[in-house]
Amino acid sequence: MSLAQAPEELQKKFIELGFKKMWINKEFQKFSKTFEGKIDENDLSVPTKDFIASIGADQVEAKVFQFLFDGNSDGKVAFDEVLQAYGFMETDDMEVQAKLFFGLIDKDGNGMLSRIEMKQFLAIHHLNDGSINPHYRQ
Ligand SMILES: [Ca+2]
Ligand SMILES: [Ca+2]
């Protein structure tokens, strides 16, 4: 099955945030073309490593992209996350950026950040800044 358009609810969600329907569907077509036959149709996701490989990132970039596109760190990049990440880079509206960023780290999508979600976010963030905890340094 190949879908020509992004699912209705996703379109609605991003149109409400101020994005154009055309942009949403263009991104969707790119996504479904790039990962044809690899997309898990239950949640429109692909394995994070495949996604990262497709943008040809080096090792350092890969970590950043992993954080950006798989904010909930479940090892999969869902199309929802792709839109959130690209939308985040696309918009200059701070309020929309904040919402998208929040959506990326709200793993269960219940609109609240639990202690666990917060911990995951901080853990990933700490991994990505490349610094070594001075307590462990000899
Ligand atoms: Ca994910
Ligand atoms: Ca949550």
83-137 pLDDT, tens digit each: 999 999 899 999 999 999 888 888 788 989 899 888 877 776 665 554 544 454 4
Give the distance (Å) from ligand 1 centre to CA of residue 70: 4
Q: Provide the β-strand partners of residue 77.
A: 46
Amino acid letter for position 83: L
Q: Can you say how many angstroms the Cα of residue 49 is from the centroid of all Cα atoms in its chain?
A: 13
Of the ligands numbered here, which is closest to the C-alpha atom of 105? Answer: 2
Helix axes 79-90, 21-34, angle to 10 degrees: 130
Q: Which H or E run contains 28? A: helix 21-34
Of the ligands numbered here, which is closest to the C-alpha atom of 102? Answer: 2
33-90 pLDDT, tens digit each: 999 999 999 999 999 999 999 988 888 888 888 888 988 788 999 999 999 999 998 9
Whether the predicted model's global pTM rises above the 0.95 cut = no
For residue 62, what pLDDT is reported? Answer: 85
Which residues are CB-contacts of 134 (< 8 A; sequence separation ≥ 6)? Answer: none
Give the distance (Å) from ligand 2 centre to CA of residue 110: 5
Domain positions in the chain are 8-109
